[in-house]
Amino acid sequence: MSAPPHAAADAATPGAGGEPAGPRHVAIIMDGNGRWAKKRRLPRVAGHRKGVEAARNVVRAAGDLGIEVLTLYAFSSENWRRPAEEVADLMGLLRHFILADIEELAQAGVRLRVIGEYRALSPDLVRLIDGALARTADNRGTTLVVALNYGAQNELVEATRRLAERCARGELDPAAIGPAHIESELATHGLPPVDLLIRTSGEHRLSNFLLWQCAYAELLFVDALWPDFDGDRLAQALDDFARRERRFGGL
């Protein structure tokens, strides 16, 4: 029997003293901004602003904790269903984050990567994102992946369509298609699979996020609302990960 997809790349490597190494790739569904604001009788945008601060702190902590890749679910393809005013607030916060933080990220060696249909955003925002990507392209520290206008089902549909087009052109035998072919067409190609997926706010669902990449991920659902999540809570999540035994379908 062949090894399961991701098993070779995803298996924990023993660290010093024989303990499992920490996760290479951590993904976070940042949930709870609105509830954080509601508890304080504040407008939802106040929760989103506080959520940006939490993201900033977690990105800094990820580098200190040795995380190779950190993926943040910033805006899903379903979030367009929210009120137009809230969507505008979120886009404004994204602009501010890029303008205010890109130099710090660049100086810290962070490499920015964006997944999702971000080119559907406003032209000025697309230009800012492209500039931030170019500014950090040569960095070799933590890779910060931001999911913008992203949905995993659409990602898989697009990957399947591209493979079908290759088959139609005679470039690929349909019978030869395997997991590596699909992975090569995903937005996350070249990145390690997700080792640890964290969702804040006590919700227990994936919400159309990295469905393929999380096939063998450890899932951690925490009660803290996203604006209250910080570097200490991220470190606690890594401690929880270290106590788990990952078997990838084996014994």
Residue 154 assigned ligand-binding role: no
Instruction: Given the residues 31, 89, 101, 195, select the one marked as catalytic.
Output: 31
Residue 33 assigned ligand-binding role: yes
Structure tokens at 18: 């024989």
Residue 199 assigned ligand-binding role: yes
Task: Using only the alpha carbons of the chain, give its radius of gyration.
Answer: 19
- The alpha carbon of 75 is separated from its chain's Cα centroid by a whole number of angstroms, namely 11
Residue 79 among the catalytic residues: yes
Residue 172 assigned ligand-binding role: no
Residue 44 assigned ligand-binding role: yes
Give CA separation, 200 vs 27, 71, 206, 219, 243, in Å: 11, 14, 11, 11, 20
Distance CA 146, CA 144 (A): 6
| Residue 142 DSSP label | -
Evaluate whether 230 touches 20 at the Cβ level (below 8 Å): no
Residue 80 assigned ligand-binding role: yes
Residue 154 among the catalytic residues: no
Residue 246 assigned ligand-binding role: no
Residue 48 assigned ligand-binding role: yes
Distance CA 11, CA 229 (A): 27
Residue 85 assigned ligand-binding role: no
Instruction: Given the residues 57, 79, 139, 154, select the one marked as catalytic.
Output: 79
Residue 230 assigned ligand-binding role: no
Residue 162 assigned ligand-binding role: no
Cα dihedral: 29, 33, 34, 36 (round 10): 130
Residue with tokens 């690929």: 172
Structure tokens at 97: 């984050």
Residue 181 assigned ligand-binding role: no
Binding site residue list for Mg(2+): 31, 218
Which residues are part of the catalytic machinery? Answer: 31, 79
Binding site residue list: 31-36, 44, 48, 76-78, 80, 82, 199, 205-207, 218
Binding site residue list for substrate: 32-36, 44, 48, 76-78, 80, 82, 199, 205-207
